[in-house]
Amino acid sequence: MLNNTQRTDLIETAKKARLAAYAPYSKYNVGAALLTKSGKVYLGANIENAAYPTTICAERVAIFKAVTEGERDFTAIAVVTRDGGTPCGSCRQVLAEFAPNTVVIVANEAGEVVRESPLHELLPGAFGPQNLNVNP
């Protein structure tokens, strides 16, 4: 569980990460700040591409950075958008791979929390390693 200071810090960090977004097509900048169980925070910003399918979301940037640094246990992720839009299905699925109980905090550009819930409420019945009968 996050305390108020951690929540506020994570949202403020995601707001700063949002400034690094490359979104010339949608103009919908997204910032993410992923808190790991070790206490490290990984940032992500959305990066668009003229070939839309190659665009990557802020949440996945943060997750992939953490994973490539050896982190696999996540506590919370703050996502900041203009209007408090929630993570897309692909981002939810990638988070579910590692931490289905991660707290997802969604805030608007003013830093106001629009939604806060564990990932499994945003993606009920997620497909995961348990479905393949393997342990990653």
Per-residue pLDDT of 32-57, as tens digits, reads: 999 999 999 999 999 999 999 999 99
Write out pLDDT tens, residues 83-100: 999 999 999 999 999 988
The catalytically annotated residue of 48, 59, 109, 112 is 59
Stated pTM of the model: 0.94
Q: Please give the average per-residue pLDDT across 55-74, as a whole number.
A: 97
Proportion of the chain above pLDDT 90, given as a percent: 89
Question: What residue ranges define each of the domains in the chain, with the CATH number in brackets?
Answer: 4-132 (3.40.140.10)
59 is catalytic: yes
* pLDDT of 21 higher than 70: yes
pLDDT at residue 99, rounded to an integer: 87
* pLDDT of 135 higher than 80: no
* pLDDT of 128 higher than 90: no
Alpha-carbon gap, residue 106 to 111, rounded angstroms:
9
**Strand spans (E) along 1-136:** 31-36, 41-45, 74-80, 103-107, 113-118
Band of the pLDDT at 1, cuts 50, 70, 90? confident
Instruction: Output the average pLDDT for the chain.
Output: 95
Alpha-carbon gap, residue 20 to 4, rounded angstroms:
25
Q: Helices 58-68 & 4-18, crossing angle to 10 degrees?
A: 110
